[in-house]
Amino acid sequence: MRYKAVLMDVDDTLFDFQAGNRRAVDRLMDEIGYFHPDRYDQYEQINLACWRALEQGRMTQAQLQTARFARFFDAYRIPGDAEAAGRRFVALLGQQAILLPGALETARAIAARLPVLILTNGITAVQKSRLALSPLKDVVAGMVISQEVGAAKPDPAIFDIALERLGVGRRDALMVGDGVNSDIRGANNAGVDACWFNPRGETLPEGVHAEYEIRDIRECAAIALAE
């Protein structure tokens, strides 16, 4: 086969992160007593800015967990303990193991012939909890989490760590993910072939390329297992 191992993103590639995130945010907002009709969008604008800062190396995982709620509470004059809210949100999000359609069957099809390793920038406690609650735990070969290894996608260092664990070279692996900056740019930086999961039909920015582009996650099995 062309590839000897597959690296897969997890959020919005295997897990339905958007659905799980909304559930966790709504639960937390109910608990703190904030009922604005736009509360999810208000929070997400701040949350996504924090994740961009993480990918750019301007914020650590530990800082992100508190900073997003500190900024949210400050922006909307909400009384509360941002550090406690961050801890509670991690616990709530870790309970959301909602798989995207076709994700499990795709991972199983690939894993029957090649090792599948999850490569994620997510928070360690969240990712480990969700994987433990999911049937994916019996399919994947493991998980490399940025918070544990000290490097986050698109830094090629996290790809090198994953490849070393798998015992394969850069040209022998395929990275599958939806994130343009984290997954695809990261694969480009690391010299790894990229399969862009692009269900919304978006366009890659200049300077970023993918060897493959798919709209349905099930399409990546044939690519990964091609001779």
- Residues 4-17 have pLDDT tens digits of 999 999 999 999 99
Looking at residue 61, its pLDDT comes to: 85
Of 27, 61, 93, the residue at which a domain comes to its end is: 93
- Residues 91-140 have pLDDT tens digits of 999 999 999 999 999 999 999 999 999 999 988 999 999 999 999 999 99
Q: pLDDT band at 55, cuts 50/70/90?
A: confident
Of 53, 76, 93, the residue at which a domain comes to its end is: 93
CATH number of the domain enclosing 199: 3.40.50.1000
Judgement on whether residues 219 and 178 belong to the same structural domain of the protein = yes
Judgement on whether residues 87 and 132 belong to the same structural domain of the protein = no
Of 93, 125, 141, the residue at which a domain comes to its end is: 93
Average pLDDT for 148-168: 96
Looking at residue 179, its pLDDT comes to: 96
Count of structural domains, the chain: 2
Judgement on whether residues 192 and 139 belong to the same structural domain of the protein = yes
Written as one string, the DSSP assignment of the chain is ---SEEEE--BTTTB-HHHHHHHHHHHHHHHHT---TTHHHHHHHHHHHHHHHHHTTSS-HHHHHHHHHHHHHHHTT--S-HHHHHHHHHHHHTT--PBPTTHHHHHHHHHTTS-EEEEE-S-HHHHHHHHHHSGGGGT-SEEEEHHHHT--TTSHHHHHHHHHHHT--GGGEEEEES-IIIIIHHHHHHT-EEEEE-TT---PPTT---SEEESSGGGHHHHHT--
- Domain containing 69 equals 17-93
Q: pLDDT band at 207, cuts 50/70/90?
A: very high
Is the pTM value of this prediction over 0.75? yes
Rounded distance between C-alpha atoms, residue 181 and residue 199, angstroms: 16
Q: Which two tokens stand for residue 216?
A: 């349905």
Looking at residue 203, its pLDDT comes to: 96
- Residues 179-206 have pLDDT tens digits of 999 999 999 999 999 999 999 999 999 9
Judgement on whether residues 119 and 214 belong to the same structural domain of the protein = yes
**Average pLDDT across the chain, whole number:** 96
Looking at residue 185, its pLDDT comes to: 97
Tell me the pairing of strands 116-120 and 5-8. parallel
Percent of the chain with pLDDT over 70: 100
Residue 54 has pLDDT above 90, yes or no: no
Judgement on whether residues 108 and 215 belong to the same structural domain of the protein = yes
Looking at residue 72, its pLDDT comes to: 98
- Residues 19-50 have pLDDT tens digits of 999 999 999 999 999 999 999 999 999 999 99
CATH number of the domain enclosing 83: 1.10.150.240
